[in-house]
Amino acid sequence: MKLVIHLLGAVVLVCFAVQTCARAIGGTPKLWIKDSTQKPLQDIVTWDENSLFVRGERIFFFSGEFHPFRLPVPSLYLDVFQKIKALGFNGVSFYIHWALLEGKPGEFSAEGVFSLEPFFEAATKAGIYLLARPGPYINAEVSGGGFPGWLQRVNGTLRTRDPEYLHATDLYAKSVGEIIAKAQITNGGPIILVQPENEYTGATSDIHPFPDPVYMQYVEDQLKDAGIIVPLISNDASASGDNAPGQPAAVDIYGHDGYPLGFDCANPYTWPDGDLPTTWRSLHLQQSPNTPYSIVEFQGGSFDPWGGLGFEQCSVLLNNEFERVFYKNDYSFGVAIFNIYMIFGGTNWGNLGHPGGYTSYDYGSSITEERLVTREKYSELKLEANFFKVSPAYLVAERGYASNSTWTSSTALTVTPAFANSTAFYFVRHAAYNSLESTSYKLNVQTSRGNFSVPQLGGSLTLNGRDSKIHVSDYDVGGLNILYSTAEVFTWKKYDSKTILIVYGGPSETHEIAFQGSTATLVEGSGPKISKKKDYTIVNWEVSSDRKIVKVNSDVFIYLLDRNSAYDYWVVDQALHNASNSVIVNAGYLVRSATVKGNTLALVGDFNATTTIEVIGGAPKSLAKLTINGHSTPFRKDKLGVYTAIVTIEKPNINIPDLSKLKWKYLDSLPELQSTYSDASWTSADLKTTYNTHRPLTTPTSLYSSDYGYHTGTLLYRGHFTATGAEDTLFLWTQGGSASGTSAFLNSTFLGSWAGTDVATNANSTFTLPNLVAGKPYVLTVVIDNMGLDEDWTVGTELMKNPRGILNYAVSGREQSAIAWKLTGNLGGEDYADRSRGPLNEGGTFAERQGFHLPGAPFEAWEDSAGPTAGIAAAGIGFFATAFELDLPAGYDIPLSFAFTNSSDDASGRATAYRAQLFVNGWQYGKYVHNVGPQTRFPVPEGILDYKGTNYVAVSLWALEEGGAKVEGLELVVDAVVETGYGGVETVKGDTWTKRKGAY
């Protein structure tokens, strides 16, 4: 190793290992460490130590993570963006999954559902700014952590400066970089931030140096060379300060992530001691004092592994209380770039996930996999995000110190203040953050009218268990100074004719608000004490579901709500990035848009029940016409000038087929067991060495599927040999990732299976062979489920290169070399057949190789069958197909799922081992492992299902036991019926079946 430092003006080139550098520089790659000046390359997106600015306007980038590749229905992007925008967010962060875009090295393709432009267009339409995160490594619970399978063949350590690895990333980085660059805000697009790499934070001890500035700079330069000029932001896996400004290979804005409650949804009510971050603010000041405090991913839910407990349980662990306590703690640190991972998880359709997860990627997040906004955590988040939209002082406030005594009367509480001129924010939580106590307290506020211990008019404040509050003082509401409010502010808006302020509290809490208005009268509800002091007025009340409205002076209306009622209120901006004329509506389930034109107000929203709508503010002064989802709706005006209308919901008739009554067809999908089957066209496993640098071969030729271009789905092996008669057993060591399974056959005889467990990533199996006849040829058929490729979180572990397939084998009494192996995965391997659904959607079973999962397959010619519930009588793979019409009413969002029945099969609770794949119009939208679980219900979005046409559905059934298997039950179920103003969803056009040349 030699260290060469070459000075080129301000540019420093550092090479450890000269040959490495020379080789890398020979091609396009440059190994430069640039002088980092931290000057923006454009002037639209800028920043200071407090926040970002867009076109000179200071913004809190409040964002949620949403992956387009997990919702392959481009016409639904806008739906999700609108639901995110309706939270009061202005941002979305998204990853790009390289493995889907470069299935074969050198062939980049981002077309059809993989095209990013529709995502950008929808973001623009919704008024959402984007943070683009192209990796190349993303983690994200996707196969290979984003790395295409062919990276298993790279002779170099992944995520390091090894030139082969760097070169492997070049085409992707350039191609995707250019796509991102075109959509930057500087070109009129929605992208304002780009993140190179992801959590480039941990490495094994043999990786020197680490973090390697040469590598990180390379990734940054790839993006810059592709034309990216918006700020680069990092996502350190912990607040370690890596690549922060001032460090080598600095990004523009330093950021880190945090998942404080972890990913174990087993005990959703347990919040372990000490899991609340407390040092992040001070670390930030040490590590990156000149950039906005940025949490580029903060826990919004959890992933869930095979055998896990299901996402409903994760949504309980990471629920509204979690948001209150943990997010408010982040605000107390002054977070100004804040991305919730995930806000909408979506689906690991078509094998895109890693083996640590199943088909659903619901994530227990605020928006469910079915795109519903029914979880309370969605509503809670809306209350929080809206507060910051109307509290500009938050972004410039100086952060004070957490204290257990200065600000409250109770030492059981910790209060962190923040001050901006006179305005103060008090972030209150239990000192023992996980306390379930109900703690009474008084708050010591410092105001321009003196210091008070509040409430002043009696009673005390309460923090009920897992809650946290943001109290304010000297808080400006459009010219009215709120001296203090213990009730939390949801929103306020000053209109020409009136000002609306909405505050809320938890059930039965006492709250107090004081303001410098001259008169205050109760105009709705009952109960509050109102007391006039010398130059301010105090209102004190007990929170109940009975709304109270206090009128201050002649034109300010303060709505005192309980939290549950506040959940139904929406603040709808009319302009994309401007809240000056937003409309405030009390409208239940969802409001997507509000448009005032002359004397008309047009509301667009979704209703899951008959709803009384109140337009609290922002309607034209003399409203002449109100339309709701395009329908003119009668309304009346009450004495406060609020317009009310009723949306009556009649649930439509929904006819969906009973799958068990349909005509099904059946095809044997393991014809390999028949003596007539020829594997002449299969790939010979003849590589004497492997390309894989991670695991040396223990077989005479490589049986690693990625050596031969097979990276996804079911793998099949055929081992030919001529018997000596001495063979007794077959030993197999197979690896497919967590919950994988293996079945082995000799000719048509079933030898046995490894059924799989949640944790086992690989298995040793020994099968007894029948008596073999000396001199006769035999063939072994081995089926292995590839559950996806492992991630590569820690640099140097090379876990992504964990091979799939047969790691070792032995036929007793024989040399290994007596067996000649062939293998197959998906037809064509890296030259995959179905361009429209990408490189991962289909695996290697016969029906898939033939494309029989695609619409248009010649299934009518197959055997009649009662369907997957009829099952198959012996170990093997069956393929069942049917078609049905849907004609669902327009104007409704009707999410549907395919639900497998799973009652334990026998009294002992032992579940028959079988695996099913669900194909809907060609898209693999479910991988069901009956003996592992947990997922049984597979949501399939409109757009994949054609709601006004024919749907082709196929189920593959791999029975791993002697006696075969039956699917216990399979139903199409309606998950919700929501009347929507969203508009039509286009059915995605994927390739249809044509006879595949050379398919075997």
- Chain residues binding ligand GAL by CB under 6 A are 138-141, 198-199, 237, 257, 297, 303, 341
Residues 215 and 311: their CA atoms lie apart, in Å, by 37
- What single string gives the DSSP state of each residue in 399-411? E---BSSSSBS-T
Give least dist CB 199 to ligand GAL, A.
5
Return the number of the residue (256 or 718) whose C-beta is nearest ligand GAL: 256
Give least dist CB 362 to ligand GAL, A.
12
Give least dist CB 352 to ligand GAL, A.
14
Task: Tell me the chain's radius of gyration from C-alpha atoms.
Answer: 30
Q: Alpha carbon of 508 to those of 359, 561, 693, 798, 886: distances in Å?
A: 42, 11, 64, 55, 48
Q: How many CA atoms lie within 13 A of 167 on its CB side?
A: 17
Give least dist CB 734 to ligand GAL, A.
26
Nearest alpha carbon to residue 957 among 873, 849, 833: 873
DSSP helix/strand/coil, 328: helix
- What single string gives the DSSP state of each residue in 667-720? EES-GGGSTT---TTSEE---SS-S-SSS---SSS--BGGGGT--SEEEEEEEE
Provide the H-helix boundaries in 523-640. Answer: 563-566
Give least dist CB 145 to ligand GAL, A.
8
Q: Which tokens belong to 516?
A: 């410098």
Residues 995 and 308: their CA atoms lie apart, in Å, by 40
Return the number of the residue (354 or 849) whose C-beta is nearest ligand GAL: 354
Please, what sign has the CA dihedral across residues 305, 309, 311, 315?
negative
Q: What is the number of the residue whose Cβ is closest to ligand GAL? A: 139
Return the number of the residue (145 or 855) whose C-beta is nearest ligand GAL: 145
Q: Alpha carbon of 502 to those of 492, 498, 550, 591, 662: distances in Å?
A: 6, 13, 10, 17, 54
Give least dist CB 364 to ligand GAL, A.
11
Residues 643 and 849: their CA atoms lie apart, in Å, by 61
Give least dist CB 135 to ligand GAL, A.
10
Residue 861 amino acid letter: A
Q: Which of 297, 370, 488, 798 is catalytic?
A: 297
- Tell me phi and psi for residue 114, to 5 degrees: -95, 0
Provide the H-helix boundaries in 818-935. Answer: 846-850
Give least dist CB 800 to ligand GAL, A.
14
Return the number of the residue (308 or 719) whose C-beta is nearest ligand GAL: 308
Burial (0-12, 13-18, 19+ Cβ within 10 Å), 104: middle
Pairing of strands 529-532, 537-542: antiparallel
Residue 876 amino acid letter: G
Q: Which residues pair with 923 in a beta bridge?
A: 920
> Is 384 a catalytic site residue?
no
Give least dist CB 669 to ligand GAL, A.
34
Nearest alpha carbon to residue 738 among 929, 912, 899, 911: 929
- Tell me phi and psi for residue 282, to 5 degrees: -70, -35
Return the number of the residue (302 or 516) whose C-beta is nearest ligand GAL: 302
Residue owning tokens 């410098």: 516
- Tell me phi and psi for residue 82, to 5 degrees: -65, -35
Q: Which of 102, 141, 199, 323 is catalytic?
A: 199
DSSP helix/strand/coil, 164: helix
> Is 297 a catalytic site residue?
yes
Q: Which residues pair with 530 in a beta bridge?
A: 539
Residues 822 and 844: their CA atoms lie apart, in Å, by 13
Return the number of the residue (297 or 893) whose C-beta is nearest ligand GAL: 297
Give least dist CB 198 to ligand GAL, A.
5
Residues 463 and 436: their CA atoms lie apart, in Å, by 10
Give least dist CB 491 to ligand GAL, A.
31
Can the peptide bond before residue 455 be classed as cis, meaning omega within 30 degrees of 0? yes
Burial (0-12, 13-18, 19+ Cβ within 10 Å), 650: exposed
| End-to-end Cα spacing for the chain | 51
Count of other CB atoms within 10 angstroms of residue 31: 22
Nearest alpha carbon to residue 508 among 556, 467, 470: 467
Give least dist CB 761 to ligand GAL, A.
18
Q: Cα angle vertex 727, ends 726, 731, to 5°?
A: 150
Q: Which residues of 667-695 are buried (b: 16+ CB within 10 A; e: fewer)?
A: bbbbebbeeebebeebbebeeeebbbbbe
Q: Which residues pair with 631 in a beta bridge?
A: 628
CA 949 to chain CA centroid, nearest Å: 30
Residues 481 and 581: their CA atoms lie apart, in Å, by 21
Active-site residue set: 199, 297
